[in-house]
Amino acid sequence: MLVHVTVESSFTGPGGGFQQISIDDRASVHELIRQYCTAKGIAVNPNYSITNRSNMLLQGNKTLSYYAVKENESLLLGTTADHNRTYRFGHWFTLAGLGFLFGLLGITICVILFAVIRTVPDNVSVLFITLF
């Protein structure tokens, strides 16, 4: 099945920008890189790699259907070294889960302290810290 994908590049110069490519979903990731380079008029480099929006590195010998690349999906072209240097959360669920656990821990501590102390404080202060 033919899919239309947008390949965005992190390069400067003639290889930079983006290119919309129509390609068979049974084609390999290497073939997608080759088509991008041909469309931009640049030489294919074996260090080029493609990642999806979740920052998952797509292996060159796998097909696009293997990675479930959908119609009108945007993929990012860069080098393997760029991908290895990049650190960011591909899935924000990890960060949300950690926030939930910290919140649950804080509530648990408050409930335990209230159960142990059993008195309500009558002098409460609120401190606001501004960073600007």
Total tally of structural domains belonging to the chain: 1
Quote the mean pLDDT of the chain: 85
Write out residues in the chain with pLDDT < 70, as ranges. Answer: 83-91, 120-121, 131-132
Does residue 117 sit within a domain? no
Does residue 66 sit within a domain? yes
Kindly report whether the global pTM for this prediction surpasses the value 0.75.
no
Strands lying side by side in the sheet with 48-51: 17-24, 2-9, 73-79, 48-51, 57-58
Does residue 128 sit within a domain? no
Does residue 94 sit within a domain? no
Cα–Cα distance measured from residue 62 to residue 30, given in angstroms and rounded to the nearest whole number: 8
- Domain residue limits at 42: 2-85
Does residue 112 sit within a domain? no
Residue 12 belongs to a domain with what CATH number?
A: 3.10.20.90
- Per residue in 63-90, pLDDT (tens digit) is 999 998 889 999 999 888 776 665 555 6
